[in-house]
Amino acid sequence: MAIYFNKPFVTGKEFEYMKDIINTQGKLCGDGVYTQKCHTFLEKKLNCKKALLTHSCTAALEMAAILIDIQPGDEIIMPSFTFVSTANAFVLRGGTPVFVDIRPDTKNINEDLIEAAITERTKAIVPVHYAGVSCNMDKIMEIARRYNLLVVEDAAQALGSRYRGKHLGTIGDIGCFSFHETKNVVSGEGGAIVINNDRYAERAEFIREKGTNRSKFFRGQVDKYTWIDIGSSYLPSDIIAAFLYSQLENTDKINSKRLHIWNEYDNFLKQYDDIIYRPHCPDDCSHNAHMYYVLFKTMQERADFINFMKENNISTPFHYIPLHSSPAGEKYCRVAGDMKETNKISNTLVRLPMFYELNDEEMYVLKSKISFYMQKNRIRFKNQDCNLLF
């Protein structure tokens, strides 16, 4: 039996809604009936003023960079331990991402290091809610207010997660979500931008529709539509929205199933706390179980574990190559302070299989392979010179 790291799934009504589009709605392009349903659903669910579907979180981040008017030379503070799109979206506008180290517990940007990275050119902070666990948003919003900076939340992994009761993605000026097939709620490729600052609400529609006021035209607010701003095509087809709508309706069901799997892993792995490090979620956050990961003490220990799992047909990938040490990161970005935690964590973190349909049989196999491995290596790992971590 092979156990994949991730597996696409449907929740029930995806195909029914897609057929409905083709048979009765007669409109396959973007901003149709199902796109509207998704917008309304997200606005209610997240309790936010405006949500717009995009074809990816990458697109939502690019829209955010245009919306906050990033100009060549502007600096944007973010972690290096993230997916490329977080930085790339701002580099495309000529901005310079400035990397700040992460916290060893949550792997999120270390809020205590942000102020030291602020310069005259700083325009925004981009907190990334890693594994669906919130950054310290009170502190980040307080710094942003004090220095007059904008906040764009990369909430790609965080649909349904909260910080002090508020949904992630709705706290900063703008929030960006992903529905890529590796996330909790999926449509293959997909995303959404959430506008929390009214200042950006109207312009977001123009940018998403090739720089035109077509959305206003559809609402009957103007009698013809025209090119009025820069923009691109950032909206998904209504077929994608139809698929997504069924998934969105099941957000809570998906997240609670994942949370069940997450807790199974966590309770089981407690017994190995002497040799590995488990994820941490601060008390003021509730997370959506986007990811289960563990950290080994050294890079070699991680490599040995991944190889053992691979021999047993179990896929356990790692990420990220820190952006500051990637070729494009070296060229377009800079670091503020050292990247000690980022480097350590990216060398020792491994992700365990996590998907909606992970079943009891698979969990049983996972647990038995992991225990066999941990017990066999416990003494060796315990005696390991562990100056790399902890």
Residues in contact with ligand PLP by CB under 6 A are 56-58, 82-83, 85-86, 128, 154, 156-157, 178, 180, 191
In whole angstroms, the minimum distance from the beta carbon of 227 to ligand PLP comes to: 26
In whole angstroms, the minimum distance from the beta carbon of 390 to ligand PLP comes to: 25
Q: How many CB atoms lie within 10 A of CB 389?
A: 19
In whole angstroms, the minimum distance from the beta carbon of 256 to ligand PLP comes to: 21
**C-beta of 82 vs 170, nearer to ligand PLP:** 82
In whole angstroms, the minimum distance from the beta carbon of 181 to ligand PLP comes to: 9
In whole angstroms, the minimum distance from the beta carbon of 27 to ligand PLP comes to: 24
Secondary structure of the chain in the HEC alphabet?
CCECCCCCCCCCCHHHHHHHHHHHHCCCCCCCHHHHHHHHHHHHHHCCCEEEEECCHHHHHHHHHHHCCCCCCCEEEEECCCCHHHHHHHHCCCCEEEEECECCCCCCECHHHCHHHCCCCEEEECCECHHHCCCCHHHHHHHHHHHCCEEEEECCCCCCCEECCEECCCCCCEEEEECCCCCCCCCCCCEEEEECCHHHHHHHHHHHECCECHHHHHCCCCCCCCECCCCCECCCCHHHHHHHHHHHHCHHHHHHHHHHHHHHHHHHHHHHCCCCECCCCCCCEECCCCCCEEECCCHHHHHHHHHHHHHCCECCCCCCCCHHHCHHHHHHCEECCCCHHHHHHHHHEEECCCCCCCCHHHHHHHHHHHHHHHHHHHHHHHCCCCCCCC
**C-beta of 59 vs 242, nearer to ligand PLP:** 59
- How many angstroms separate the CA atoms of 101 and 339, rounded? 5
In whole angstroms, the minimum distance from the beta carbon of 156 to ligand PLP comes to: 3
In whole angstroms, the minimum distance from the beta carbon of 45 to ligand PLP comes to: 18
**C-beta of 56 vs 215, nearer to ligand PLP:** 56
Instruction: Determine contact, residues 143/111, Cβ cutoff 8 Å.
Output: yes
In whole angstroms, the minimum distance from the beta carbon of 20 to ligand PLP comes to: 25
